[in-house]
Amino acid sequence: MTTATPTTLSIKHLSKSYVAGKPVLKDISLDIADCGITAIIGPSGTGKSTLIRCINRLVEPTSGEIHFEGGNLVALDRSGLRLARRHIGMVFQEYNLVERLTVMENLLTGRLGYVSPFKAWLRKFPEADIARAFELLDAVGLGSFANQRADSLSGGQRQRVGIARALMQEPKLLLADEPTSSLDPKTSVEVMALMRDLCHARGIPVVVNMHDVELAKRFADRIIGMSGGNVVYDGGPAGLTDDVLKSIYGGEDWLQ
């Protein structure tokens, strides 16, 4: 969906090298439109995860610009970055819940950027936040789990909590770093469907990186193929022919 909808996120000439002289991302430029799921696919070690993490600067970009909500994220100082991150939700491969907190508390960590540390410590969250947390819990099908500890949940349930936590932020953009890689195939589909439905209803664009091409084709509105730190494909799922896949992953034995 590279139609002329207003762009939410605009990445310009982004490069990242962990070791000087060995760039993982090579001069990437991308515009993410105002809705729909954008899937980034590509072989392991090609910088998909680095790209996603550069957007909210969990990984510091080496050079380039990332424009979001009218500002350049790369140029922000610590407190500016913190305020900007409040508008970017993130879902992780290993769920990254705080294991010893309850599901409800995990959801409310999505509001920590808005609540003073002292009030957060006393668990004095605004009524509206708590009401919305219950709403989201119902939406992800975990309505009765509010007071259960996160470490008592299954992988699929944890990832639902992860999605709900990200949506608690009322984000303008959702990043998902391999959200289904630790889940079984059935749960993966359920989680992706959940993410698509919830974000579609709220008009939140999603950038997700995944290694499962079929899953990407099924759920993504736009697919970005990466190889060796470069974008080699950018288009709809229909255009993802075997030739394109070969150019992304190399070789052909793995294609049926």
Partner 1 sequence: MSSTAVQPPAPRVAFRTNWWSRAAWIALAIYVVYAMSRLEITWDRFVLGLGNGAKFLDRMFPPHIIQPDSLLKGLTESLEIAFLASALGILISLPIGLFAARNLMPVWATWPARAIIALCRTFHPVIVAIVFVKAVGFGAMAGILALVVASIGFIGKLFAEAIEEISLKQVEAVRASGAPFMSVIAFGVMPQVFGRFVGFATYQLDSNLRNSTMVGIVGAGGIGGTLFSAFQRFDYDFVCAILLCIIGMIMAGEILAQWVRKVFLERGKVDEE
Partner 2 sequence: MSTTLVPDRIDAKTWTRFTPGQRFARYTVYFALVLALVVSARSVEIIPEFLWDAPEQMQDLFKRMWPIAWAHYPGGVHDALVETLHIASLGTLFAVIMAIPIGICAANNVVPSKPINYLAKLVLVASRSVNSLVWALLFVGVFGPGALAGTLAIAFRSIGFVGKLIGEALEEVPRGSIEALQATGSPWLSILSKGYWPAVEPAFWSIVLFRWDINVRESAVLGLVGAGGIGLALNAAIDLFQWDRVAMCLFAIFVVVIVAEIVVTQIRKRVL
Query: Which residues are near partner 2 by CB under 8 A?
Result: 56, 58, 82-90, 92, 94-101, 105, 109-113, 115, 117-118, 120-121, 162, 165-166, 169, 175
Smallest distance from the beta carbon of 130 to partner 1, in angstroms?
Answer: 5
Q: DSSP assignment, residue 210?
A: -
- Residue 190 or 234: the one with the smaller Cβ distance to partner 1 is 190
Taking contact as CB under 8 A, which single stretch among the options 35-43, 97-105, 167-175, 241-249 is the one that binds partner 1?
97-105
**Which are the contacts of 180, defined by CB distance < 8 A and separation ≥ 6?**
159, 187, 188, 191, 192, 210, 212, 215
Footprint of partner 1 on 184-213 (CB under 8 A): 190, 193-194, 197
Q: DSSP assignment, residue 110?
A: G
Report the candidate in 122, 113, 158, 154 with the shortest Cα–Cα distance to residue 140: 158
| Element housing 56 (H / E) | none
Smallest distance from the beta carbon of 82 to partner 1, in angstroms?
Answer: 25
Count of helix runs (H) and strand runs (E) in the chain:
9, 10
Burial of 18 (0-12, 13-18, 19+ CB in 10 A): exposed
Binding-site member from 105, 177, 178, 212 for partner 1 (CB under 8 A): 105
Smallest distance from the beta carbon of 190 to partner 1, in angstroms?
Answer: 5
Asked if 130 is part of the footprint of partner 1 (rule: CB under 8 A), the reply reads: yes
Asked if 116 is part of the footprint of partner 1 (rule: CB under 8 A), the reply reads: no
Asked if 104 is part of the footprint of partner 1 (rule: CB under 8 A), the reply reads: yes
CB under 5 to 8 A by kind: which of partner 2, partner 1, none does 76 bind?
Answer: none
- Residue 157 or 248: the one with the smaller Cβ distance to partner 2 is 157
CB under 5 to 8 A by kind: which of partner 1, partner 2, none does 110 bind?
Answer: partner 2
CA 130 to chain centroid, in Å, comes to 23
Say if residues 55 and 11 touch (Cβ distance below 8 Å). Answer: yes
Say if residues 15 and 24 touch (Cβ distance below 8 Å). Answer: no
CA dist., res. 25 & res. 55, Å (int) = 12
Asked if 98 is part of the footprint of partner 1 (rule: CB under 8 A), the reply reads: no
Smallest distance from the beta carbon of 108 to partner 1, in angstroms?
Answer: 8
CB under 5 to 8 A by kind: which of partner 1, partner 2, none does 192 bind?
Answer: none
Asked if 152 is part of the footprint of partner 1 (rule: CB under 8 A), the reply reads: no
Neighbours of 69 (CB within 10 A): 12
Smallest distance from the beta carbon of 144 to partner 1, in angstroms?
Answer: 5
